[in-house]
């Protein structure tokens, strides 16, 4: 049996591949369980210093497999109740696991990215996409649902209220070119060069000081809610701790010696 989620290593970089290409990597129950387990394993492995998430075949992820086959529940529970339990137990923890990773993460969107796939991609620290990729949220116009897995939190912050609401209500497909222009992703890349670019970026991320990816992520997260004064105090308190970690003196010495710092000796 082929694993629904494949994990490979390239030095300090881990590559998680959503591997159900026959269904554009839609997420079955087994697949989402495997993805959560792999993310937790990556987080616990101190030899991994950066993560790449991508998809096999023509798609990144077509979202949740919309049927109730294999979805556990009591006989008198509705599909909605059962799905709510799955979101609480598996889907939402996947997004939280990405948000809490001690290492930086990059999504390499290689094709169709829909529904929950959009949420997973946008949960990464950096998103690049093939120039043939596209993003679409069909929750509202096709299914009568709202975006989930944090998409309703992330999208307005990335592209603004007007655009986020319009593409959600209309189910408009957003090309990689438009996504880059709007600030939804960092960069679009020629399709044949996507993984080479992803690995080059991940290799750079892997050289960062331990834990700083999570520090940056959480600092920007806090800034969404804090006043300027509160955020500056947040920064002050984090700098107070980070300045006393080994990474800072190594970075300072490297700067003075005109060499690249080595944070992983």
Q: Which long-range contacts (CB under 8 A, 24 or more apart) does 67-70 make?
A: 70/28, 70/29, 70/30
Give SS3 for 106. strand
Where would I find the beta strands (DSSP E) of the chain?
A: 5-10, 13-18, 50-55, 59-61, 105-109, 112-114, 126-130, 134-136, 174-175, 187-189
| Domains and their CATH numbers in the chain | 5-205 (3.90.226.10), 212-256 (no CATH)
Strands 126-130 and 134-136: unpaired
| Residue among 138, 132, 107, 133 nearest 121 (CA) | 107
pLDDT-derived band at 83, boundaries 50, 70, 90 = confident
pLDDT digits (tens, 9 = 90+) for 113-130: 999 999 999 999 999 999
* Residue 153: partners with Cβ closer than 8 Å, 6 or more residues away: none
| Residue among 195, 166, 194, 169 nearest 178 (CA) | 166
pLDDT digits (tens, 9 = 90+) for 66-80: 665 556 666 788 888
- The pTM assigned to this predicted structure is 0.93
pLDDT digits (tens, 9 = 90+) for 163-194: 999 999 999 999 999 999 999 999 999 999 99
Report whether 38 contacts 94 (CB < 8 A).
no
Strands 126-130 and 112-114: unpaired
> What letter would DSSP give residue 209?
P
């Amino acid at each position: 049996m082929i694993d629904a989620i494949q994990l490979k290593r390239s030095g300090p970089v881990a590559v998680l591949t959503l591997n159900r290409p026959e269904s554009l990597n839609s997420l079955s129950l087994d697949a989402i369980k495997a993805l959560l387990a792999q993310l937790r394993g990556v987080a616990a492995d101190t030899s991994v210093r950066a993560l790449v998430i991508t998809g096999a075949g023509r798609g990144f992820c077509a979202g949740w497999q919309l049927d109730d086959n294999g979805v556990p529940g009591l006989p008198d529970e509705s599909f909605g109740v059962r799905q709510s339990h799955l979101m609480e137990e598996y889907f939402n923890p996947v997004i939280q696991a990405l948000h809490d990773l001690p290492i930086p993460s990059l999504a390499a969107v290689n094709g169709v990215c829909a529904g929950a796939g959009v949420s997973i991609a946008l949960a990464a620290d950096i998103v690049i996409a093939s120039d043939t990729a596209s993003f679409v949220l069909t929750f509202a116009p096709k299914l009568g649902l709202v975006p989930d897995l944090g998409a309703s939190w992330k999208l307005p912050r990335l592209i603004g209220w007007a655009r986020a609401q319009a593409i959600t209500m209309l189910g408009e497909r957003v090309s990689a070119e438009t996504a880059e222009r709007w600030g939804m992703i960092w960069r679009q890349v020629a399709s044949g060069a996507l993984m080479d670019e992803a690995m080059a970026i991940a290799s750079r991320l892997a050289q960062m000081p331990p834990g700083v990816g999570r520090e940056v992520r959480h600092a920007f997260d806090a800034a969404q809610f804090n006043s300027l004064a509160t955020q500056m105090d947040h920064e002050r308190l984090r700098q107070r701790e980070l300045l006393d970690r080994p990474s800072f003196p190594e970075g300072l010495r490297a700067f003075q010696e005109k060499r690249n710092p080595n944070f992983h000796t």
